[in-house]
């Protein structure tokens, strides 16, 4: 009887454990969500799952921000490409440099000493295939681990206390032209991360690794057969048409096997709605840049895709730029907000695309809610269908082999690239760092070879207005109204931070870190940093005092000429001539800058 009782108790225990398994797996997700509500910390790359980059801290206000001063600084040990942001977990700060991807832990009670530094092995094959500089966009945190992706394709889970590796996974192969530049996102027990390499004929994919073991849980490709894309032909929604995608919705839009050579890399930002249990991300350009080599819409490159994070199965997909002929990657952030649409509160994502249009989608179904230009010079399309989102392309601006198409706006860098916008719930506006640029584009035939550039175009970029390459704007996504704008000499390539104090923060390519009044755009404070700013400001509080931190470390596609020592205007995929004078204003560098009130 005693043995039977013990056996029965074990059975009950196992049944109970199985019943509790799903809630246990969700704890990392719910814990992060709860932690992100504490504005004393900054626990995710975008501040929260909605990537709103809004802080509820209000100690720094429009009245006292003029009294900001540098609290402390720290060298990152590298000199370029700092497109990320630190994390603050309790009294610890964690951050990652650009390649060779040093990862640091600093105790905020003792900022003069590094608690630990992790130096991953250096793979010299990675930098040559990083098309647009050796950038990195930051680390993630969950369950006592720092999750870091590095340029050569490795993912490291590090013990947050010691910096020692818990597990290592591989998500990319530089010998195939694959790299990683994005920041991971942790959802439940999954580490979500994409891949870079659209200029090397890489077929894009999004991967999910198990948070505890590093084992690959699922991988979803951006183009190709339904099985590889994790598309359900009967249930995955073609959001442009609001009906099921049907069988092989991608293959039917490519010629032959062209989809294998660069269908939508996934190197941007990832967001997540816990209520709908959907992750949202964008896919990049199809290969090559010569559209004549790949007839058709080239689905699902240039798209926003919503997926179940547990299985990877796609809920819906919305294509923004079919048959891309301009390199208008769709990887920019999808900001999760609930917006008033004609008196009804609609759960939305807001996406400022490279192609110059702001799209508002119902995040439940991908249905288009609103679409507006956010730069007045956009001319590649005559209009966007307000129901399907399909553009009516201006034939004079469509690129093709053997022709130099002039004065296309925006240029390939887009009216906004990966530099993330922010939302302010008080003004209900989006604060957007933009590019104000146009280009000439000459396509030509190119052959594919693994690990070599697969571009097929020569570009030259230039300002859309005399001496104005960037505009920092306050934008109403529903009406399409720009409330105010600050014109800048160079592209505004830093991210944005909004705060409950009514202050917004951003940096300029020539190194000015600015605080602006969210209501009217007045610059209330600025400080000249050691190098240009392409990183993203964050806010946190320590010992009752509010701080704002940002990387100074110019580079990225916007400053590839300065970063890589290029001088010919058409080099750097056409970007070098656009910022030829940048070296008159700033130098390379890599410094974490931390500000607070006097």
Active site residues: 327
* Contact yes or no for 364/397 (Cβ under 8 A): no
Q: What is the DSSP string of 343-410?
A: TEEEEEEEEE-TTSEEEEEETTT--EEEEEESSTT--SEEEE-TTT--EEE-GGG---BT-EEEEESS
Q: Which of 530, 482, 529 lies closest to 505, judged by CA?
A: 529
CA distance 586 to 132: 19
Point out which residues pair with 470 in neighbouring strands.
435, 488
If you write DSSP's letter for every residue of 471-500 in order, what string do you get? EEEEE-TTT--EEEEEEESS---S--EEET
Residue ranges in 158-265 assigned as alpha helix (H):
226-229
Cα separation, 538 vs 547, whole angstroms: 8
Asked whether the beta carbons of 362 and 369 are under 8 A apart, the reply is yes
The Cα 321–Cα 221 span in angstroms is 18
Q: How far apart are CA 464 and CA 411, in angstroms?
A: 9
434 vs 354: CA distance, rounded Å: 9
| Interatomic CA distance for residues 201 and 301, integer angstroms | 13
How do strand 357-362 and strand 368-373 relate by DSSP bridges?
antiparallel
Distance CA 511, CA 518 (A): 21
Entry field: residues in the chain: 598
Please name the residues in contact with 576: beta carbons below 8 A apart, sequence gap of 6 or more: 560, 561, 566, 567, 568, 569, 570
Q: Give the closest residue to 37 by CA, choosing from 24, 50, 22, 23.
A: 50
């Amino acid at each position: 009887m005693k043995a039977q009782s013990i056996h029965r108790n074990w059975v009950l225990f196992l049944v109970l454990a199985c019943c509790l398994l799903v809630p246990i797996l969700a704890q990392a997700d719910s814990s992060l969500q709860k932690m992100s509500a504490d504005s004393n910390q900054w626990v995710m790359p975008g501040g929260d799952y909605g990537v709103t980059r809004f802080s509820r801290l209000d100690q720094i206000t429009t009245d006292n921000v003029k009294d900001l001063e540098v609290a402390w600084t720290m060298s990152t040990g590298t000199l370029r490409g700092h497109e990320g942001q630190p994390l603050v977990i309790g009294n610890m700060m964690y951050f990652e440099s650009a390649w060779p991807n040093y990862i640091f832990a600093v105790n905020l009670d003792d900022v003069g000493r590094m608690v630990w530094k992790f130096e991953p092995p250096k793979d010299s094959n990675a930098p040559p295939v990083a098309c647009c500089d050796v950038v990195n966009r930051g680390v993630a945190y969950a369950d006592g681990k720092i999750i870091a992706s590095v340029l050569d394709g490795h993912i490291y889970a590090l013990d947050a206390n010691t910096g020692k590796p818990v597990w290592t996974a591989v998500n990319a192969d530089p010998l195939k032209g694959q790299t990683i530049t994005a920041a991971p996102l942790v959802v439940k027990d999954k580490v979500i991360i994409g891949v870079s390499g659209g200029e090397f004929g890489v077929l894009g994919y999004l991967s999910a690794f198990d948070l505890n073991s590093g084992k690959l849980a699922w991988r979803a490709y951006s183009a190709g057969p339904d099985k590889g894309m994790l598309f359900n032909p009967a249930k995955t929604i073609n959001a442009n048409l609001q009906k099921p995608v049907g069988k092989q919705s991608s293959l039917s839009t490519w010629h032959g096997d062209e989809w294998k050579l660069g269908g939508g890399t996934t190197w941007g930002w990832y967001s997540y709605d816990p209520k709908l249990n959907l992750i949202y991300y964008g896919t990049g350009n199809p290969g090559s840049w010569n559209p004549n080599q790949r007839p058709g819409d080239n689905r699902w490159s240039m798209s926003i895709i919503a997926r179940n994070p547990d299985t990877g199965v796609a809920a819906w997909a919305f294509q923004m730029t079919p048959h891309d002929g301009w390199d208008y990657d769709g990887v920019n952030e999808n900001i999760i907000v609930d917006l008033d649409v004609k008196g009804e509160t609609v759960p939305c994502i807001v996406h400022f695309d490279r192609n110059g249009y702001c799209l508002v989608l119902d995040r439940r179904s991908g249905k288009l809610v609103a679409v507006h230009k956010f730069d007045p010079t956009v001319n590649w399309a005559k209009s966007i269908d307000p129901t399907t989102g399909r553009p009516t392309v201006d034939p004079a601006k469509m690129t093709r082999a053997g022709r130099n198409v002039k004065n296309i706006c925006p240029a390939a860098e887009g009216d906004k690239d990966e530099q993330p916008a922010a939302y302010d719930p008080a003004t209900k506006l989006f604060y957007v760092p933009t590019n104000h640029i146009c280009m000439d584009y000459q396509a030509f035939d190119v052959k594919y070879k693994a690990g070599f550039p697969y571009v097929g175009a020569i570009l030259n970029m230039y300002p859309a207005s005399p001496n104005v390459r960037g505009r920092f704007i306050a934008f109403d996504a529903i009406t399409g109204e720009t409330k105010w704008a600050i014109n800048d000499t160079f592209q505004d390539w830093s991210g944005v931070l909004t705060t409950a104090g009514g202050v917004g923060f951003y940096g300029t390519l020539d190194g000015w870190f600015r605080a602006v009044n969210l209501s009217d755009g007045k610059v209330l404070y600025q400080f000249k940093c050691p190098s240009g700013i392409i990183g993203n400001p964050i806010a946190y509080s320590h010992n009752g005092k509010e701080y704002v931190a940002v990387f100074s470390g110019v580079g990225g596609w916007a400053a590839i000429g300065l970063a890589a020592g290029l001088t010919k205007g058409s080099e750097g995929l056409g970007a070098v001539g656009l910022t030829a004078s940048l070296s008159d204003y700033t130098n390379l560098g890599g410094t974490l800058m931390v500000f607070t009130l006097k």
